[in-house]
Amino acid sequence: MRPLQPVSPSTRVLLGISFFVLFVIVWSIATYGGFVTPIFLASPTRMIEEGWLLLTRFGFMYDIGMTIWRVFGGFVLAAIIAVPLGIAMGAWKTVEAFFEPFVSFARYLPASAFIPLLILWAGIGETQKLLVIFIGAVFQIILMVAVTVGQTRRDLVEAAYTLGSSDAGIVRRVLLPASAPQIAETLRLVLGWAWTYVIVAELIGSSSGIGHMIVDSQALLNTGQIIFGIIVIGIIGLVSDFLFKEANRRMFPWSLA
């Protein structure tokens, strides 16, 4: 192995699977070997049994659907506002000077700290949960998009001006095409953070969702269901991440050059 030396796709897949296999082996040794009591950590088979029970008897598919809706609903709302504002901040320094201090301040505020206020303002319904995800994602996206647009190669901008492009044309024909792949990558990363926010939102005052199920399972000391819920989140996140990467690859083929 050498620093930054790429590996083949088949080797990458094999190494990725190997980690999960090793993880399950260690988990099995800890549980089946009696090193950890079941009340603290369920065995793999117990987790599968509890997961099947959730899916077949307790309507867990509905909880999964509600959580996915909340994640993507809050994330899309954040992206609709954050991406245009981030582009404007990156393209025009006056806009950046106006918004950047507040955005930099707000992005350090934990979304979970707003939950009590959001419950007072919006109740414990879907609006409150969407707003938690929105607050957690919007300021991160704004700043990351602004940085991406602002780092566009200056020589491309000067060349466009030399060829007679207008200011609006610079944004439309230079800044956006150059920044679009990295903006999409930013959205992919922040989508992963949105899953953290939705579980936090569902831990308080929720009657549905994966986070609600985890809280109920914790009250019953059912670690099998808790672990199953966590694994489901990871699987959904992995699938969405893969789909996001594939969409980015197809939409922005020039970024692969």
The predicted-structure confidence for 13-39, as pLDDT tens digits, reads as follows 898 899 999 999 999 999 998 888 888
Chain length of the chain:
257
Structure tokens at 202: 């569902």
Q: For residues 162-185, b (16+ Cβ closer than 10 Å) or e, as one string?
A: eeebeeeebbeebbeebbbbbbbb
- What's the rounded Cα separation, in Å, for the pair 184 and 144? 11
Residue 248 pLDDT: 83
Residue 183 pLDDT: 92
pTM: 0.84
Burial class (CB in 10 A: 0-12, 13-18, 19+), 155: exposed
Burial class (CB in 10 A: 0-12, 13-18, 19+), 70: buried
Please enumerate, as own/partner, the contacts of 84-89 that have beta carbons within 8 Å and a separation of 24 or more.
85/142, 85/145, 86/141, 86/142, 86/143, 86/144, 86/145, 86/146, 86/148, 86/149, 86/183, 87/145, 87/146, 87/149, 87/171, 87/175, 87/176, 87/179, 87/183, 89/142, 89/145, 89/146, 89/149, 89/150
- What's the rounded Cα separation, in Å, for the pair 243 and 32? 36
The stretches in the chain having pLDDT less than 70 are 1-2, 4, 254-257
DSSP assignment letter at 223:
H
Given a contact cutoff of 8 angstroms between Cβ atoms, the answer to whether 145 and 190 are in contact is: no
DSSP for 24-85, please give it.
HHHHHHHHHTTSS-TTTS--HHHHHHHHHHHHHHS-HHHHHHHHHHHHHHHHHHHHHHHHHH
* 32 Cβ contact list (under 8 Å, min separation 6): 43
Structure tokens at 12: 């990458």
Residue 1 pLDDT: 67
Residue 254 pLDDT: 67
Residue 11 pLDDT: 85
Structure tokens at 125: 């319904």
User: According to CATH, what is the number of the domain 43-256?
Assistant: 1.10.3720.10
- What's the rounded Cα separation, in Å, for the pair 22 and 167? 55
Residue 98 pLDDT: 94
Residue 246 pLDDT: 86
